[in-house]
Amino acid sequence: MFDFDRVIQRRGTHASKWDNMAKLSGITAPDAIPMWVADMDFAAPPGVTAALTAEVQRATHGYYAYTGSWAAALVDWMARRHNLKIDPAWVSPTPGIVSGLGLIMQAVSAPGDEVVVFPPAYHAFRRIIVNNERRILDAQLVERQGRYFMDLDALRTSLTPRTKVVFLCSPHNPGGTCWSADELRALAQLCAERDLILVSDEIHCDLVFAGAKHVPTMTAAPEIMDRLITCVAATKTFNLAGAHVGACIVSNPDLKKRLDARIMASGLGSYNAFGMIATEAAWRTGETWLDALLEYLTASRDLFDRRIEAAAPGARSMRIDGTYMAWVDFSGTGLAPDAVTARVAQRARIYASPGPQFGPGGEAWLRFNFATPRPILEEALGRLDEAFMDLRAGK
């Protein structure tokens, strides 16, 4: 019904994944394959294309009227997919989640304050904290039996009076961890004890594989709703990252007022019409597409994990519950991290996200985005196989 195998030429289309690759990675080979930034090489759901086409054909592209239908579509989606009840009055659109995180920090903290992140963690957290003149407080994740765990005892001892905010990524990126209700509750309790605002970035919540379950922090810890901000979006789920629209969900009216004041102060109370139209259509029409996508991604995940571990003896791909990024530890290969990166970049002509970008704990890792049509994925896996061939000699 949906052809995820179809290769769409994205080179030369202002696709950051393809057209920024050479600049960022130094890989100039014309056949280089991008496996870095988190967007997919698949066509969006047909209902999105239809909605955008209708807008384009009307050919009048004036300011967008926020009638509430967008928040209603989000509310319906979260109820259907996550059994989560949200009041549309809690929803503030922002031009993406990362900009939302910046606005939240401005609303609830001051320059010099500390923001907790759980590294290895999504690199833009680090950047937006530093760019807002706040400081990163790393709460190192601990890996046990191929899964990440939060060490809240260690975090408790490192909190200071300047710590004001916690950025949680749920499901976690990288590592694809779906946090359990107990884990979320324990973190929530610590936030309540120490008067911290908990920001739960759940942008990957829809991209969870069979056998795993995303638990919204709102569901796990309703007792801290007054200090909780949940960030969600249709952009990751439906491959609309360029639409740059996200939602901050805040039930505490005072907190919401503070966030909305920052949004208004930055002139962001008027929304990008294309982004709003695309994401509303996605929530309203994209469900069967998403179910089919998840089946496709499950097979791609299994293929990638099996092949990378076979290609580079000693490499270990973390068993992800969600997201479409494989997180691979090369420390067991006997190669230095730079040598691994060089093989992947130069021999395989693949740009994977360098592990150190994700902060402490990522040094020996690479993150590979496998959300690409199977012909491209097969080509990439074949090249990785060759790039590490000598390691297999004599084994």
Residue ranges that bind ligand PLP, judged by CB under 6 A: 38, 96-98, 122, 169, 173, 201, 203, 233, 235, 241, 246
CB 256 within 8 A of CB 90: yes
Whether the upstream peptide bond of residue 253 has omega within 30° of 0, thus cis, is no
Nearer to ligand PLP, 122 or 368 (CB): 122
Nearer to ligand PLP, 28 or 270 (CB): 270
CB of 25 to ligand PLP, least distance (A): 17
Nearer to ligand PLP, 197 or 335 (CB): 197
CB of 203 to ligand PLP, least distance (A): 4
Question: What gap in Å lies between CA 231 and CA 170, rounded to an integer?
Answer: 10
Q: Which residues contact 298 (CB under 8 A, 6 or more apart)?
A: 209, 210
CB of 336 to ligand PLP, least distance (A): 27
CB of 58 to ligand PLP, least distance (A): 26
CB 370 within 8 A of CB 324: yes
Nearer to ligand PLP, 250 or 335 (CB): 250
CB of 122 to ligand PLP, least distance (A): 4
How big is the chain by its Cα radius of gyration, in Å? 21
CB of 215 to ligand PLP, least distance (A): 16
Nearer to ligand PLP, 208 or 335 (CB): 208
CB of 167 to ligand PLP, least distance (A): 9
Chain residue whose CB lies nearest ligand PLP: 96
Nearer to ligand PLP, 100 or 337 (CB): 100
Nearer to ligand PLP, 202 or 329 (CB): 202
